[in-house]
Homo-oligomer: A and B are copies of this chain.
Amino acid sequence: MPLAPWRSPLARALHRNRAAADARYCQLATVNADGYPSNRTVVFRGFWQESNHLQIITDARSTKLAHLQRQPWGAICWYFRQSREQFRLSGEINVIDHRTPRPDLQQARRQMWQNISDNARAQFLWPDPGVPKADPAAFEVVPDPATIPETFVLLWFNPEQVEHLELRGEPQNRTRYQYEHRTGQWQVEALNP
């Protein structure tokens, strides 16, 4: 699949904001079983090879995973403060966990586990998240780069609509990229902000 047309403005935003350690932080919204929204910061871990899949890691014990297993659609809002621009991406999320049968997906999961830092790996060995706080000693864990815990989950986010808003325009520039399943093409349109 060729790179989607929104990849180029997103790459430019990442480049312009590269001095900020948190330029790779964005907010992912999901919907819970009762139809209520949920929202949290996640870290963008790059695209999968030549695809348009944004990679995110998460813990199998997190509430967002429970949400995604029922409603696999997510919405990312990504604000770049230095260049003052926002990307809103929505699309389906593929969950790649220890039960995923496809060897190529397991390979992607393994590769991500090996690429992340020891600190990032350690969190997957911590006590269950979101329950009353455990003894601090329970957080003193040493992860093994060669052993992937079942808690480690890779998400592939596949945008089908992307909106790019540049606050610096006069008026602001807003562009919508919409994937058309019928043609396999992206429609691009300049919109009123």
A190 touches B79 (CB 8 A): no
Which residues of A (31-83) have their CB < 8 Å from a CB of B?
Answer: 31, 35-41, 71, 73-77, 79, 81
A9 at the interface (CB under 8 A from B): no
Q: Which residue of B is nearest A89, CB measured?
A: B39
For the complex, would chain A's binding face be called helix, strand, loop or mixed by DSSP majority?
strand
Q: Contact partner of A31 among B36, B128, B192, CB < 8 A?
A: B36
Please tell me the size bucket of the interface on A: 35 or more
Chain B residue nearest in CB terms to A175: B133
The number of times this chain is found in the oligomer is 2
Which of B25, B38, B86, B191 is close to A90, meaning CB atoms less than 8 Å apart? Answer: B38
User: Which residues from chain B contact A127 at a C-beta distance below 8 Å?
Assistant: 192
Asked, given contacts A130-B191, A132-B189, whether A77 binds B37 with beta carbons under 8 Å apart, the answer is no
Asked if B37 and A74 sit within 8 Å, CB to CB, the answer is yes
- Whether A192 touches B25, Cβ cut-off 8 Å, given contacts A31-B35, A31-B37, A37-B30, is no
User: A79: nearest residue on chain B (CB-CB)?
Assistant: B41
Contact of A133 among B38, B77, B192 (CB under 8 A): B192
Q: Mark A74-115, 1 if CB is under 8 A from B, else 0.
A: 111101010000101010000000000000000000000000
Q: A127-B192, A190-B133, A192-B129 are in contact. Are A39 and B76 (CB under 8 A)?
A: yes
A120 beta carbon closer than 8 Å to chain B: no
Q: Mark A166-178, 1 if CB is under 8 A from B, else 0.
A: 0000110010000
Chain B residues near A28 (CB, 8 Å)? 39
A-B CB contact pairs (8 Å), 5 listed: A27-B29, A29-B39, A39-B77, A40-B77, A132-B191
